[in-house]
Amino acid sequence: MPAGTAFRRGAATLAANVWPLALLPSAWHYQHPLLFSLRHGESALLWGLPLLGLLCWRRLPGLGRVLLLGVGLLLGWQAVDYRLQREAVLAAGPAMQAVGRHFVVGYTDVDEVRELAAKGLIGGIYVGRRNVRGRSLADVRAEIAGLQAVRARAGLPPLIVAADQEGGRVNHLSPLLERLPPLAGVTDQPDPGIAAQAYGERQGGTLAGLGVTLNFGPVVDLRLADRPAGEMFSDIPARAIGSDPEGVAEVAAGYLDGLAASGVRGTLKHFPGLGRVDRDTHLHPARLSETPAELAADWLPFRALAGHAGSALMLGHVTLEALDPQRAASHSPAVVRLLRGDWGYDGVLVTDDLNMGAVYNLGIGRVATEALAAGVDLVLVSYDPRQVYRAIFAAAQVLERGEIAPETLSASARRLTGLSSSPI
């Protein structure tokens, strides 16, 4: 056999084995939230290629057939497993409802989220860009009001309606709502606190007019001059109020008061702070090696405003090594003990989105469960909303096994009741 022919046959055999092998990682991570925007194309590709392989079954070498069969079985198992978990959640048993009220979920399908709301399987919704893009203010307001009416008819508490409208770089509800400049701009005013309050009232009025009750702002992470590079999406230097802890606290307090005057609560974020973090938690795990004493200045705005009327506190996906080297703050019992015990904070704790790369690969069900067991009050699942079924299912299983203390959920339910009342 000529050398060229042998080479071509060898290359063809290698390619026939390699392309099914290349599909295995994608099949394992099928419907990963970071690929949510590509979901339709991902599904068509991952299901289409194995089907195409079946048409060429006789031409595939033995290893290629085995790998292709493995891809098909893995995709099928994931699809069936997800469907079973979704159906179990929608059956709305007591355990599903008990944990479900602690979830705030984004949505792409209002009918789907309406069912979750009616059955008491969620505590709130997250309204983002995709919910307002190309729509009128009246339409979005009516949609939210309709979901609240569903809750009222079911005899359930009103939904928490959350948004991420910081101003500046993060204006997720604009241009439907007024696009405001960064909150940091008020630091140049003669009285930054008063200017921040006016800013909060202006922004809060538009949010309240839409039906939003909880805004994920202000960012009180410090803007550090020597901040390491490496983030893609967080961009804390552009979002932070400033570098002076006391000045940040003053502006944040005024902003919270302004929101509250409009009937909207704010959220201090992202504890334990992203100012020193060198990795973007949207994509990667991040760690802080500093001790609490070394972070005292960074924490001053959080500590000064913890419990401030009309605010919650968001836990970021950052591992605070001195307190809990195994878990990020968002699901760490040690971090919750610091806030509840040492600081005396009895307000609402909410996680950053569990779809983020820093924690998702640990298992969204595991992280949600650990957060609730630690005493976190609200679990956010916003970017890829359908991941909420896996999270609720896992948490309900753990609750039924007695691994989430009933008194922990009871205390959390009390705090959520307070969040539903007017912040004014």
pLDDT above 80 for 375: yes
Q: What is the mean pLDDT of residues 308-327?
A: 94
Contact assessment for residue 104 and residue 379, using Cβ atoms and an 8 Å cutoff:
yes
The one catalytic residue among 270, 282, 308, 331? 282
Q: Is the pLDDT of residue 278 over 90?
A: no
% of the chain beyond a pLDDT of 90? 71
42 pLDDT tier (thresholds 50, 70, 90): low
Q: What is the pLDDT of residue 58?
A: 58
- What per-residue confidence (pLDDT) applies to 56? 62
pLDDT of 292 higher than 60: yes
Please report the pLDDT score of residue 234 as a whole number: 74
Predicted local confidence at residue 424, as pLDDT: 58
Judged against a pLDDT cut of 60, whether residue 19 lies above it is answered with: no
Q: What is the mean pLDDT of residues 337-346?
A: 96
Token pair in block for residue 251:
């502006």
β-bridge partners, 256: none
Question: What tens digit of pLDDT does each residue of 228-251 get?
Answer: 554 667 788 889 999 999 999 999
- Quick one: pLDDT at residue 11? 41
What percent of the chain is predicted at pLDDT more than 70?
Answer: 80
* Per-residue pLDDT band at 1 (split at 50, 70, 90): very low
Tell me what the mean pLDDT of segment 151-173 comes to: 95
Interval 48-107: pLDDT, tens = 656 555 556 555 556 656 666 676 777 777 778 889 999 999 999 999 999 999 999 999
pLDDT band at 14 (very low <50, low <70, confident <90, very high): very low
Across the chain, mean pLDDT equals 87
Respond yes or no: is residue 352 known to be catalytic. yes
Q: Which of 257, 280, 352, 377 is catalytic?
A: 352
- From CA 360, how far away is CA 274, in angstroms rounded? 18
pLDDT at 53: 59
The predicted pLDDT at position 8 comes to 42
Q: Would you call 282 a catalytic residue per the annotation?
A: yes
Residue-wise pLDDT tens digits, 381-395: 999 999 999 999 999
Split at pLDDT 50, 70, 90, the class of 418 is confident
Q: Per the structure block, which two tokens stand in for 269?
A: 């974020």
Is the confidence at residue 10, as pLDDT, over 70?
A: no
The per-residue pLDDT for 128 is 96
- Mean predicted confidence (pLDDT) in 347-375: 95
Confidence at residue 87, expressed as pLDDT on a 0 to 100 scale: 97
